[in-house]
Amino acid sequence: MPADKNNTEVTIYDIAEALDVSPSTVSRSLKNHSSISSDTQQKVKEQAKEMGYRSNIFAKNLRRKKTNTLGVIVPKLNSNFMSSVIAGMEKVANENGYNLIISQSLETAQKEASNVETMFESRVDGLIVSLAYDTEDYSHFDPIIENNIPLVFFDRVAYYKSAANIIIDNFKAGQQAVTHLLKQGCKRIVHMTSNLARNVYEDRFRGYKQALEDYDIPFDPKYLIQNDLSNQAGQQAAQQILSMDPLPDGLFVANDTCAIACMSTLQDHGIKIPEDIAVVGFNNDPISSFVNPKLTTINYHGNEMGKVVIRNLISHLNGDNNIAMTNTIILNAELIIRESSVKAS
């Protein structure tokens, strides 16, 4: 059914839904892009006309009117790291007269795409995203790029055309964590991680393998455990570790929540930490310094990352720099050594 032309501004997302095609196909069809067949272009234009879609020129003119609103899409808000990032973002945004619209993808690409559509329709001046667990197709960002809305990825990034990325050196952090375990005498080190399609987990895994290689220890696939890094996943992974023969003597986990759940379950089964298995986590969540033993972890400053993201985006909006030229900004992280990983000499 055609949209009410008097009350509803039709977007390319509406047309895409009506034709069961991607928003990027609609956008390119309306621009007579050579990658889209003439038949598809015709169907899109007819549908656009029927639904009362207004021309790109009109939309671009509207887009030039700043809303002083920035969109933020994160996987989940229930982590200390993400809360810290948002706090840093809000501080710098508010100091510069901007407000944030914050939404969660809940770790699904489908919800992420829906959130992108909502941000587009809300006319945000810029969009900031940390990718969902299962995002593989990035076409839902095409309309953002094609309408010249600046796009910044942080933490979980896409290396997407015309976008900036703000990350930590996950490779170096992973290498440091595992090198520390190797220096404690560990030789059979389990790495627990998540979807290796995400840069954060892939880079930490590469750091893990590099540290092993530095000590002439071959990578053994049986020591790689992939899950969603939840409490439950940590408990289940502990059962998997307990079944290994010989028992591993080191454990590097890609977040603290899962590391603590795994460590606690292992202790419940009589495993001594760090005497039997030395453990290193990642994120430096507050709980990591209250468990027994206190958890060795990688600390990276979410608050600072949030500030850097907003500073770079606002600088772009003010015409002081171009985020597409910035490409990737890498922030430092540090290994915090606590009792969970230090074996007696």
Report the CATH number that the domain containing residue 47 is assigned in CATH: 1.10.260.40
Phi, psi for 246 (deg, rounded to 5): -75, 165
Question: Is residue 327 assigned to a domain?
Answer: yes
pLDDT at 339 exceeding the cut of 90: yes
pLDDT of residue 115: 96
Average pLDDT over residues 93-118: 95
Are residues 157 and 194 located together in one domain of the fold? no
Question: Is residue 192 assigned to a domain?
Answer: yes
Are residues 138 and 206 located together in one domain of the fold? no
Its domain, for residue 34, covers 12-62
- Gap between the Cα atoms of 18 and 134, Å rounded: 25
- pLDDT bucket at 4, cuts 50 / 70 / 90: very low
Question: Is residue 6 assigned to a domain?
Answer: no
Question: Is residue 250 assigned to a domain?
Answer: yes
Are residues 270 and 287 located together in one domain of the fold? yes
Q: Which two tokens stand for residue 338?
A: 């606590």
Among 121-125, 223-227, 332-336, the range scoring the smallest mean pLDDT is 121-125
Render pLDDT for 249-283 as a digit per residue (tens, 0 to 9).
Answer: 999 999 999 999 999 999 999 999 999 999 999 99
- Gap between the Cα atoms of 102 and 186, Å rounded: 43
- pLDDT bucket at 6, cuts 50 / 70 / 90: very low
* Residue 318, number of CB atoms within 10 A of its CB: 9
pLDDT at 44 exceeding the cut of 60: yes
Are residues 220 and 131 located together in one domain of the fold? no
Render pLDDT for 203-234 as a digit per residue (tens, 0 to 9).
Answer: 999 999 999 999 999 999 999 999 999 999 99
Are residues 198 and 76 located together in one domain of the fold? no
- Gap between the Cα atoms of 155 and 166, Å rounded: 6
pLDDT of residue 8: 58
- pLDDT bucket at 107, cuts 50 / 70 / 90: very high
pLDDT at 7 exceeding the cut of 70: no
Q: How large a percentage of the chain has pLDDT more than 90?
A: 74
Report the CATH number that the domain containing residue 232 is assigned in CATH: 3.40.50.2300
Are residues 175 and 296 located together in one domain of the fold? yes
- pLDDT bucket at 33, cuts 50 / 70 / 90: confident
Number of domains in the chain: 3
- Gap between the Cα atoms of 341 and 19, Å rounded: 56
Question: Is residue 2 assigned to a domain?
Answer: no
